Structure 1
Amino acid sequence: MNTSSVHPGSPRESLGVLLGLVRAEVVRAMEAEIADKGLDLRFNQFLILKRLAMLGPMSATELARAVELDGGAMTRQLDQLERKGYLRRCPHEQDRRALRIELTEDGDALWQQLTSCNDRVLAAAQRSLDKTEREQLHAYLERVLRALRDKD
């Protein structure tokens, strides 16, 4: 990462640029952790597995919204993850026209492996912050997110 823009005395990056740079570094670090485990998985696929592990089965539309992918990109990711045996499309219990996406046993086992990668990357990202600062950062980012989502 080019850190010249965040050195003392240099002009401050805009919030948008800074958030984008942080996200790019998290993605890079997660993909490096995943590659170190010898896994062929991209960050978006990691996010899909994470959402399914954390929230349980859901429709492709709900999942696309949860990981912020468009429908076409979601279909491609789901096809790849299904071919690898990490998830399956199952009939919806109440709506026979709809499908629910769920992790397979292999997908759940993979997620268990990936949680340590996720934990290491997020810990490294916050290593210069004490407990109070971590809590404040989280609270501030939640407020920013709520403000951006608030349409009123």
Structure 2
Amino acid sequence: MNLGKQPAIKSLIVRLHKGSLILPVNLMAELVTGGELVPSEHPGVEGWLHWRNRQIPVVSIESLCMQEEEGESDEGKCLILHTVSALPGLPFIALRVQGGLNTLEILPDTLRDDHSGNMQRCPYVARQVRASHLLCFIPDLPAIEAAIAEVLQLTAEQREPVLEQD
């Protein structure tokens, strides 16, 4: 039985402060520019973005992987993503990004594993690959979302008053 060629996956290449991520296009909800973040004291959560009457946790892959100290990026852009886990209360997360978004059709043979300058096997990065000669990380979204859900459960009582101020 010939199944034929696998279809290409329409993907986004998103620039981070250091490096790039590859994400499926269908996870993207919106690219938000210039949103003010409410500060967060939790590692991995840079802050909270008010978006469409919701508080969305803004995640920094670099700080989750301890690649750099958290700091304001020079551009206030956040990519809002639909979550992949069916976690109650976490329909979206946001990633801090730089520049615009590039799309790429990914076929099974498009990506090449690349272990140069490995991110010390960060548990939030599923694969490190080269796509069109660009070093990219494929994030482990279920692991990131589980970490954020833990933070949300820790802060559920503290978040309520902030939500009521709007």
Which TM-score band applies after superposition, normalised by the shorter structure?
A: under 0.3
Structure with larger Rg: 1
Specify which structure has the bigger relative contact order, considering alpha-carbon pairs within 8 angstroms and separated by 6 or more residues. Answer: 2
Whichever structure has more helix as a proportion of its residues is: 1
TM-score, L = length of structure 1: 0.27
